[in-house]
Amino acid sequence: MAIFHTNFLFFWFSFLLFFSFAVCSRYEQEELQWLDDKDDEINMVQNRHSSLRSCDFGTGKWVYDQSYPLYDATCPYLSTAVTCRKNGRPDSDYEKWKWKPHGCEIPRFDALDFLGRIRRKRIMLVGDSIMRNQWESLVCLVQSVIPTARKTVTYIGPTMAFQALDYETSIEFCWAPFLVELKKGPGNKRILHLDLIEENARYWRQVDVLVFDSAHWWTHSEKWSSWDFLMEGNNAYKNMNPMVAYEKGLMTWANWIDLNIDPRTTRVFFRSMSPKHNRENGFKCYNQREPIGYLSHPHVPEQLLVLQEVLKRTRFPVYLQDITTMSALRQDGHPSIYARALGEKAKREMRGYSSDCSHWCLPGVPDTWNEMLNAML
């Protein structure tokens, strides 16, 4: 009886062991199959990212897309100067052009996906009023999916921050048109310090994604010059080639980035110069209704050449976001006379009204810059 009992236990143990092995094998096979599937997905994602990295977003063409714009022109975060429809612009096709790079696609902006990826992070756009133009675009691209009570805007010094509270995320703008410091000196003179940056840069610390621009204020004509003197160390200059000054200012910025930003925690982008269309007394962009098909002689601004040379010398991996050529095709995208509300008489006569051919109507061209930035992220 004891022998039978022992044999029975041995048989039962062997059966359980075999069954367990069979079940485990089946589950292991399913697990391996699942992992293989996931590997395929991972490879697909990696291949897509590789194709995005190899894609030249800056060359392509504008195609009309009825599904645009990506947000409504009544977005409450738009400043008056860019709300062209509200200000009386009669056409709206400028809102419906999509940029198609040669050989690849820029993914359509998905607000929930973007917010999910920058959860618990800060993204800051640093620069001039055209960078604010881009900041307003980015805020309008995401704000509609956030309940009213869960979003806010705060102001600290030269910064403003849109906060998505449920995502613990902020999308910020920092006013620093030169990046380096512009200060008041004796006699109320404006002094641009080519080698000083910390007063502005202190706002850039602990930010996860930094996007810079600086170009327009360096090239204002003598009448509209933004400074009275330039200083480098103890040396003051009344006259200096603007591009030499620009390079010196950018090198101060680049050195600060190299010394103060950790590439393991922070991504840094530099957006190239936004082109103007303000020849012919500033009215070249007035009444333009569609993009230019192509540029027979593409002009590369000197500022972009200087920027490219500076970026080559930085140790920090700064990504150049080149929007210059694509935006040069969009002389239809500026506010022109619609940077403020006009009455019917003013629209007919147009006397005494300036034409803004530098900033951009929203929705409009900067939305595409942000779709590109989203893809680069």
Q: Judge contact between 303 and 218, C-beta under 8 A.
A: yes
Q: Judge contact between 131 and 125, C-beta under 8 A.
A: yes
Q: Judge contact between 126 and 58, C-beta under 8 A.
A: no
Q: Which of 193, 216, 277, 359 is catalytic?
A: 359
The pLDDT of residue 343: 60
Q: Which of 128, 213, 322, 356 is catalytic?
A: 356
The pLDDT of residue 121: 97
* Residue corresponding to tokens 């897309």: 65
Please state, in angstroms and as integers, the Cα–Cα distance from residue 362 to each residue in 80, 85, 99, 137, 265, following that order.
Answer: 10, 9, 16, 7, 32
Q: Judge contact between 204 and 124, C-beta under 8 A.
A: yes
Element (H, E) at 200: helix 198-201
State both tokens at 56.
């030249």
Q: Measured between alpha carbons, how far is 150 from 148 in angstroms, rounded to an integer?
A: 5
Q: Judge contact between 314 and 258, C-beta under 8 A.
A: yes
Cis peptide before 363 (omega within 30 of 0): yes
Q: Judge contact between 157 and 203, C-beta under 8 A.
A: yes
Cα pseudo-dihedral 70, 74, 77, 83, rounded to 10:
90
The pLDDT of residue 32: 33
Bridge partners, residue 192, by sequence: 182, 230
The pLDDT of residue 19: 40
Q: Measured between alpha carbons, how far is 129 from 282 in angstroms, rounded to an integer?
A: 18
The pLDDT of residue 286: 87
The pLDDT of residue 297: 73
* 39: annotated active-site residue: no
* 359: annotated active-site residue: yes
When computed from its CA atoms, the radius of gyration of the chain, rounded to whole angstroms, is 27
* Residue corresponding to tokens 């080149």: 322
* 214: annotated active-site residue: no
Q: pLDDT averaged over consecutive 10-residue blocks of the chain (377 residues)?
A: 47 44 36 34 37 74 96 94 94 96 93 96 97 98 96 96 97 98 92 97 97 90 80 92 95 98 96 81 78 80 94 95 94 92 60 80 98 95
The pLDDT of residue 355: 84
The pLDDT of residue 223: 65
Q: Which of 129, 195, 208, 228 is catalytic?
A: 129
The pLDDT of residue 191: 95
Residue 123's CB: how many other CB atoms inside 10 A? 23
